[in-house]
Amino acid sequence: MEYVPILRGKAGEFIALRNTSADVQAHIRPLLEVHPDQRLADVVRTFARHPASTCRATSP
């Protein structure tokens, strides 16, 4: 069974995912939300910068 946490696309959530053990990461599929505000460009840059380095690739 997979757990799908819904996370805001902020640096703290990416840090938490990066620090999650490989065993836990094998059983989660995070859904990252974008909440636009006046700093939308910062949010987009955060998304572009973090996912690849934060989430380990797993086989389906």
Tens digit of pLDDT at every position of the chain (60 positions):
799 999 987 888 888 988 999 999 899 999 988 777 767 777 777 777 776 666 665 555
Task: Indicate the Cα dihedral angle 13, 19, 22, 26, nearest 10°.
Answer: -10
pLDDT at 51: 64
**Domain residue ranges in the chain:** 6-54
pLDDT at 20: 92
Residues 6 or more apart whose Cβ sits within 8 Å of residue 53: 18
- CA 14, chain centre distance (Å): 5
Asked if 17 and 43 touch (Cβ cutoff 8 Å), the reply is: no
pLDDT at 49: 76
Asked if 32 and 4 touch (Cβ cutoff 8 Å), the reply is: no
